[in-house]
Structure 1
Amino acid sequence: MSIIVRPSTKADFAAVDSLLARSYPKLLKSDYAPSVLVTALPIISRARPGLIACGTYYVGVDNDQVLAAGGWTRDRVRADKGHIRHVVTDDRALRRGIGRAILGHTIETARQAGVIELECASTLTAVPFYSSVGFEVEEDMIIELAPGIQFPAVRMRQVWQ
């Protein structure tokens, strides 16, 4: 397997959307109650066109197949702070270093852009993954996805100078 990590483009929208829709239900199943997933998945497992085209969202591709995606965006208040965004790995390609390649590229490009702090709202499932690449748990949090639809998550942070 030879993964190529590159910035996503509008042409990747359908592949990322399909990846999220296929993988999130399987990956999150063991850590979330069905009652949470039934309301949250239709919201969180959809690609966002603005994010796909932002220039700091990346796809991991092998043989023209998108196997992972994720990226970062700059904080609206602090120029030296960024936010990890919508990271996903194909559930059939776990433990092959693809997610780590995406996140490593994301961290490196954020650093090169002058970011000294990255924050993420991790799913309960992904906490060990983010911890393995240097993120520290800050606090449990609830994300209000829509009125009455709450999603448990964990705020994590990585800071460097």
Structure 2
Amino acid sequence: MQQQALTVRTALAVDFGAVDALLARSYPAILKADYPPSVLVTAVPLISKAQPRLVMSGTYFVVEDGDGVIVGAGGWTRMAPPGFGEEARGVAHIRHVVCDHRRLREGIGRRLMGHIFRTSEAAGIQQYECFSTLTAVPFYAACGFSTLGPMTVALRGGIDFPAVHMRRFLKAD
């Protein structure tokens, strides 16, 4: 079977529904092995919704397969996620990265992260912060991130989501 070509592009307003659907179907499936049922029932529905402002930020991207189907999404912002500080010069926060759970290990995430690194570095980014799911820690480590330690992301209504704080510095050429 020949692998389809993957294209990364900046997300548009018309992509919002497809990104939302991708998050809603993939996060629960991907995270199931690493989180207890209580987190899957309470927190995952909150984190698996697309954020309009982020999707339309100009630094959020989608990955399309050869048929134009969105199979991955994610991006970066200079602003930290809500509740985690302010903008810091030269620092990007990796945000809401997802890959279709039926298409794991096809290079979608790597292609997306390569694009994120290129676009953010061109904008003067020197350091990356990431609040990884427990499931994605090995992926981010393979992309050059170091683990800083466990953390909890407080969601609305007193619901907490266990995560891992990770960091990557721009590598010198």
- Tell me the TM-score normalized by structure 1: 0.97
Q: Determine the C-alpha separation between the residues in 2 that align with 1:141 and 1:22.
A: 25
Of residues 27-36 and 143-152 in structure 1, the stretch that sits farther from structure 2 once superposed is: 143-152
| 1:132 aligned partner | 142
Residue identity in the other structure for 1:9: L
Deviation at 1:78, TM superposition (A): 1.3
- SS at 2:119 equivalent: helix
Aligned to 2:76, which of 72, 97, 103? 72
Residue identity in the other structure for 1:56: T
Deviation at 1:120, TM superposition (A): 0.4
Residue identity in the other structure for 1:146: R
Residue identity in the other structure for 1:38: V
| 1:114 aligned partner | 124
Deviation at 1:77, TM superposition (A): 2.9
Superposed, 1:4-153 pairs within 5 Å as 4-62=7-65, 63-75=67-79, 76-153=86-163
- The C-alpha deviation readout for 1:17-52, integer Å capped at 9, x for no partner, is 000000000000000000011001221010011011
CA RMSD of aligned residues (A): 0.9
| 1:155 aligned partner | 165
Query: Structure 1, unaligned stretches of length 5 or more?
Result: none
Of residues 64-73 and 144-153 in structure 1, the stretch that sits farther from structure 2 once superposed is: 144-153
- SS at 1:147 equivalent: helix
Q: Determine the C-alpha separation between the residues in 1 that align with 2:48 and 2:25.
A: 8
Q: Determine the C-alpha separation between the residues in 1 that align with 2:14 and 2:162.
A: 32
Q: Determine the C-alpha separation between the residues in 2 that align with 1:77 and 1:2.
A: 35
- Tell me the TM-score normalized by structure 2: 0.91
- SS at 1:154 equivalent: strand
Q: Determine the C-alpha separation between the residues in 2 that align with 1:24 and 1:55.
A: 23
Q: Determine the C-alpha separation between the residues in 1 that align with 2:149 and 2:117.
A: 21
- SS at 2:155 equivalent: strand
- The C-alpha deviation readout for 1:29-88, integer Å capped at 9, x for no partner, is 000000011001221010011011000000000111000000000133312101000000
Query: Greater strand percent: which structure?
Result: 1
Q: Determine the C-alpha separation between the residues in 2 that align with 1:25 and 1:77.
A: 30
Residue identity in the other structure for 2:137: V
Residue identity in the other structure for 2:101: D
Query: Structure 2, unaligned stretches of length 5 or more?
Result: 80-85
